[in-house]
Structures are given as C-alpha cells and as structure tokens.
Structure 1
Amino acid sequence: MTTQTQQPTGPAAQQQGSHHFILTLQKPYQGGFVTATFTNTFTPRPDDTRADIYKVLFEQVTRANPELANANVLFFSLERNQL
C-alpha cells in the first residue's frame, strides 16, 4: 500500500506544506509482512520539534490505516519543502 501525491503546478503548488515527509511502516501479516510508504507535505506549528512531527504523522497514518497500528518504522524523513 503506497500513498503518493502529485506535484501541483501554478497556484496550487504554493499551497503545499512547508515540509515534505516520507514515512515507511512494516508489520507482520499472514505469515509475511505488509509494508506501506506514505508521503505528503506538512506545515508544523512554530514550536514543534522533529519528534513532535514524527509522533503526529505516525498517529495520523495509523489512525487512517488501523491495520498498521503498532507497525515498525522502517524509514522516516522530514525535510524543508524547498529546493
């Protein structure tokens, strides 16, 4: 299961979040594993730390995908959404 977003152009591109994240989770499932990668943009509150953002994103993803509750994090990246 992978969630991807298209890169908008024009005015829509200006509405992206200030940061881009990638979060990959894995959990045992029926004798194997289910692995899912989520990516999007996010604008943190001014006093948020990287740990705060990680916790919020993990909770949002697992709330929207309950089958991934208690999943292991294989990868987490959070970068400013700029070149």
Structure 2
Amino acid sequence: MTTMRAKFQVSKVERFASCENVHFVAVPKPTGYPADGSDEDNTYAKFSPSAKCEITIANPALFGKLNPGEKFYVDFTPAD
C-alpha cells in the first residue's frame, strides 16, 4: 500500500453564512534554513514545492476552526 504525507498551510479562509471556503498551499520554503537543515518545513517544501487544495466546509461545528497561517499534515492513503 502506497501512502504519502503532505504538509499544507492555510493561505486564506472565505467565511460565509452557510459555509467556509478554506484554501491550502504546500508549506512554503522557510525563511532561512537552520545550518543543520533540520527544519521540517524544509523537507516538505523541497519535495512538494507546489500544491494547492480548496475545501468547502458546510458543517457549522467546524466553522472558525481553520485559520490562515496554520499548518496541517494531509495523509493520502488508498481508499480501495
């Protein structure tokens, strides 16, 4: 079974009365890598330099839970 983990950052949230549109991008290259290269964002930005995702959330219990600048892991696993 092949899996992949990506790291996304919320770039924008559009809030409406009945839903929220949450925009994600792959984590950007950190400003200034540590000398030992240990910054985790460095790893994700290096191997996934570009990605976008947009999710419309219609569950009122989730409104306001995702905010610009926050980072999340997204795991891709087969759904068969």
TM category, shorter = 0.3 to 0.5
TM-score, normalization by structure 1? 0.32
TM-score, normalization by structure 2? 0.33
Larger radius of gyration: 2
